[in-house]
Amino acid sequence: MNRGMNNIVVLVAGPFIIYAILALFMGAIPGAVLSKTSPGPGVMPFSPQAQRGRDVYVSEGCSYCHTQQVRPLKQDLVFGRPSTAGDYAYSTPQLLGSERNGPDLSNIGSRQPSDVWQYIHLYEPRSLVSMSIMPPYRWLFQLKAHADVNDIVVPVPPGYAPKGAVVVTTQEARELVAYLKSLKQAPLTSRAKR
């Protein structure tokens, strides 16, 4: 073995081929096969507006603190039913996440359906949850002296609202909230029949 590995061609090619095979079977093939997972019952593609909101979510790195995977564990049931493979058919890039500095959002559209709550929370999380460590996303909003007819005014609680101006949503904020509201876990078939 040692004598063979003193040959540079063997030393380079041997491990290269072994790793290439392992990469094929542990990375590429599972990736390609699982990419073909068909959507679960009731799992629908995102609307164009929600899809653009998903892009905002990705862009701002929301999934560094919010997972989108409900584990089949008792402590996760507060976030929804356990996630299934079919839930992710339209979720590219995948946003399962690795850390919960904030709650899981797999089913946030059902758990918090109010867009007013989402707008206020995005503008200043601590105005709603005093111990929250979520960053404020002020750049998704605009300050105006007077709201126009078509503007959505965010009723920021006193003490957090800017003085002499109103907070109105930008298109990104509306898209992001449309995405959050669209995150509703489809009921599993057995439950749907009941």
Partner 1 sequence: MTVTSARRLEQSTAGDIKLFSAFTISATVWLLLATAVGLLLSFKFPYPDFASSPYLSFGRLRPIHTNGTFYGFASVALTGVAMYVAARSSGISLWGKTYAWGALWCYNIAATMGTITLDLGINNGDQEYREWVWWVALFFVGAVILSAISIIGTVANRTERDIYISNWYIIGAYSFTTILGVTAAIPFYQRGLGQVAVQGFYMHNAVGMWFTFLALGTTYYALPKLLNRPIYSYALGILGFWTNLIFYPIIGAHHFEFSPLPWWFQTLAIVFSVGMLVPVFAGTGNFLLTMRGGWERIRRSVALPFIFVGVLYYFVGSFQGTVEALRSLQTIWHLTSYTVGHSHATMYGFITFIAWGCIYGLLPKATRKQPNSLATGLHFWMASIGVTLYVLALSVGGTLQGIDWAQGDPFIASVESAAPYWVARAVGGTMMFCAHLLFAYNVYLMTFARSRESEAAPIVAGKATA
Q: Which is nearer to partner 1, 23 or 165 (CB)?
A: 23
The CB-of-102 to partner 1 minimum distance in angstroms stands at 8
Q: Residue 143 interacts with partner 1 (CB under 8 A)?
A: no
Q: Which is nearer to partner 1, 147 or 160 (CB)?
A: 160
Which residues partner with 144 through β-bridges? Answer: 166
Candidates 59-67, 108-116, 148-156, 177-185 — which segment interacts with partner 1 by CB under 8 A? 59-67
Q: Residue 155 interacts with partner 1 (CB under 8 A)?
A: no
Q: Which is nearer to partner 1, 93 or 158 (CB)?
A: 93
Candidates 111-119, 134-142, 144-152, 185-193 — which segment interacts with partner 1 by CB under 8 A? 134-142
Site for partner 1 in 100-129 (CB under 8 A): 100-103, 125-126, 129
The CB-of-146 to partner 1 minimum distance in angstroms stands at 26
Q: Residue 188 interacts with partner 1 (CB under 8 A)?
A: no
